[in-house]
Amino acid sequence: MTNLEKAFNRIDEYIKLRMKEDDTPGIGLALTDRDRTLRVSGYGYANLDAQTPVTGDTLFEIASIGKSFVSFSLLKEFEDGRLDLHKPASEYLPWFEVQSKYEPITVHHLLSATAGITIGVDTGPHGLHEAWNLRHQVAAWPPGSTFYTSNVGYKVLGFLLENVAGKSLQKIIQSYILDPLEMSSTHAVITQDSWRDMAIGYRPFYDDRPPHHSYPRRPIPWHEYGAGDGPVASTPKDMAKYVRMILNRGRGPT
């Protein structure tokens, strides 16, 4: 048995243990180095009712990992000379406004989650209302001084990116990242078509008491999503390609 096989076996043991402890329905895993995918594994089920097993081709909502797709796309605009990261965000998105006695919020502040924005409620699938509503909020501290994770800050960045590039976020992610990396199974935004092939998320049936393994599960409510804080759905196989690009400092397939 090779060292990699020993490592794979230990990973399998650990995942199965954690799935049992956390009552996790299914997990997809891809392992890669800088050169190639080393292993793709599926554990459990993508759909409990249909007993559909998780595989390397199972589509998952990747949530906040999608923020990095927006970040890389903005950095491409920077490299191409269309965006200055240290200019006020309002120069690229004129309607963006936050009440503040401090210096203007820059694109870099939003990217680094140091803009002083502490609110955000994920009120709708598009996010435009929430981003617009920031004009009624007050900056909590000087931009650049404190880190505070902000989903709505990345929703603003998604709209800003569309303004700079002159096309939709879906087309930007598709042309800037998915096509060059040959991520053919990844959805740049989550639509009704995504739902057909996507793993179902579950939560405990009861929401008025602490979770327990003995309680039944229910599917998590689902909706289309295309805002900048988490628009992407992908597969383990495709995400291995994405990770390789990061490991290789931006270099894609050759």
pLDDT in tens, 223-250: 889 999 999 999 999 999 999 999 999 9
pLDDT of residue 125: 53
pLDDT of residue 222: 80
Do 189 and 169 contact (CB within 8 A), yes or no? yes
Give Cα 132 distance to the centre of its chain. 22
The pLDDT tens digits of the residues spanning 173-201 come to 999 999 999 999 999 999 988 988 899 99
| Closest to 235 (Cα-Cα) out of 42, 79, 92 | 42
pLDDT of residue 3: 83
pLDDT of residue 115: 97
pLDDT of residue 1: 55
Do 106 and 89 contact (CB within 8 A), yes or no? yes
| Closest to 164 (Cα-Cα) out of 182, 152, 148, 176 | 176
The backbone region for 249, taken as left when phi is positive above 0, alpha when psi lies in -120 to 50, beta otherwise, is left
Q: How far apart are CA 238 and CA 204, in angstroms?
A: 30
pLDDT of residue 212: 82
| Closest to 109 (Cα-Cα) out of 143, 155, 84 | 143
| Closest to 112 (Cα-Cα) out of 86, 144, 78, 84 | 144
Tell me the pTM. 0.93
Q: CA gyration radius for the chain?
A: 20
pLDDT of residue 16: 96
Give every residue of the chain whose pLDDT is below 50, as ranges.
Answer: none
Q: How far apart are CA 208 and CA 35, in angstroms?
A: 48
pLDDT of residue 177: 98
| Closest to 174 (Cα-Cα) out of 69, 81, 80 | 69
pLDDT of residue 254: 67
